[in-house]
Structure 1
């Protein structure tokens, strides 16, 4: 077939009577690209992320959760850099942790895991993630170093007595079948704070690390959840063992 004959054939396929018409359509009578009309887009039109009040409330709660994590990250870094005092840091941190728990409880299964939420929304806040995981301010976890032990030992004796009391409180709570997270977590937070107040207690005291482990475990559960029989038994064993170790350290002083 000659070149002119090819042009005539293509023109006839496209419905053109002019042999000089160039081919721009799809082969064998397919729809022409030029005949397709692109949808018009109004750049000033608001894009709706939700379709009802329930979805809107969910988006608002997720936005609150996002902002709490960011603010907590800034607070942690400010405390690390001594930009704020421990007396300013502690109540602010407690409030943010409580707000996070409230916001996350409202979202339920929508945000089951903090790490996944942070990854999905590109949140790089490792200090906030650690603080939320433990569930208590750094001043509670490690002590606030607010005041040294007095030379006469009165302050040390006070903190030792408080620590003994906190240990007994936790053990009694378990014996009374108080196994809900929102019942045990505050008691453990008080216990670790009392342990940190005893400045002369060795840094590697095993009881402190074990209390921290239980704090993390409880903090990863919902407030309404309860320890199972095995976990309750293990916690009782750990607290009694740690209390015995603490009394042994006291006797050696």
Structure 2
């Protein structure tokens, strides 16, 4: 009987190469950062990576109707806010460079997340939900009690948001971080009133995307501001026409 080998036999032709021996302690922890600043930067970049992956999976789930609309909107809005908040740090922004560069560096394939970040809003914010009030309800016609009052309040809110935005332009507020939140309020309040695709509604969405592409403190030119005012005023008139 052949005795059992305690280990696999080594070919006689193999000679260990001492030059390939480890020169470090393999039990020693490898540190990716040596200072707190470097560690914070690595943590921020890791968060951005996580947000991109999460957003992409969220968009897939929403397209498959695998997540409720309200949950999708909440998670998407929170993720976008976190993404922008992290990149507000100049050091992180320099290391990140841009979304395309970041994806290339880490071999990320997240097309849906890329589009959502480009737009800067959940898809539900760009289209009216099925539960919005129709024109007859909004004006109180055919509605009774609290329903009509609620719809009237929504119309007032949308009207005030339009006026607030247009007044901001006339007062010379031209920076992205001043205008984008106000225009976001406009589209969200409009969507609560009507699901009709009224005239020039698309202009609101186009400007939301255009503003989202700007840096936080970047400002519109006078010509752009004038064009924006004309487009949003036209959208306001189109919105009012849905209420008649």
1:210-225 superposed matches below 5 A:
210-225=203-218
Q: Runs of 5+ in structure 2 lacking a partner?
A: 1-16
Higher relative contact order (CA 8 A, sep 6+): 2
- Correspondence for 2:188 among 172, 186, 193: 193
- Correspondence for 1:66 among 40, 49, 55: 49
1:40 to 2:35 alignment: no
Deviation at 1:62, TM superposition (A): 0.6
Give the corresponding residue for 1:142. Answer: 127
Deviation at 1:75, TM superposition (A): 2.1
Moved more, 40-49 or 131-140: 40-49
Change (3 A) 1:152 1:162: farther
- Correspondence for 1:175 among 170, 177, 191: 170
Give the corresponding residue for 2:232. Answer: 239
Q: How many corresponding residue pairs?
A: 214
Of structures 1 and 2, the larger Rg is shown by: 1
Per-residue CA distance 1:186-233 (angstroms, 9 max, x = gap): 11111112332343523xx45222111211122222323332333222
**Structure 1 length-normalised TM:** 0.72
State the alpha-carbon separation in 1 of the partners of residues 70 and 107 from structure 2.
Answer: 31
Deviation at 1:47, TM superposition (A): 4.5
8 A contact 1:181–1:218 mirrored in 2: yes
SS of match in other structure, 2:129: coil
SS of match in other structure, 1:38: helix
Deviation at 1:122, TM superposition (A): 1.9
Q: Runs of 5+ in structure 1 lacking a partner?
A: 1-35
Per-residue CA distance 1:96-115 (angstroms, 9 max, x = gap): 11100111222122223212
State the alpha-carbon separation in 1 of the partners of residues 165 and 87 from structure 2.
Answer: 27
State the alpha-carbon separation in 2 of the partners of residues 184 and 173 from structure 1.
Answer: 8
8 A contact 2:129–2:195 mirrored in 1: no
Deviation at 1:138, TM superposition (A): 1.9
**Structure 2 length-normalised TM:** 0.75
- Correspondence for 2:142 among 139, 143, 152: 152
1:45-194 superposed matches below 5 A:
46-106=29-89, 107-147=92-132, 149=134, 150=137, 152=142, 154=148, 157-194=152-189
State the alpha-carbon separation in 2 of the partners of residues 225 and 38 from structure 1.
Answer: 56
> What RMSD in Å do the two structures reach over aligned CA positions?
2.7
Change (3 A) 1:48 1:200: closer
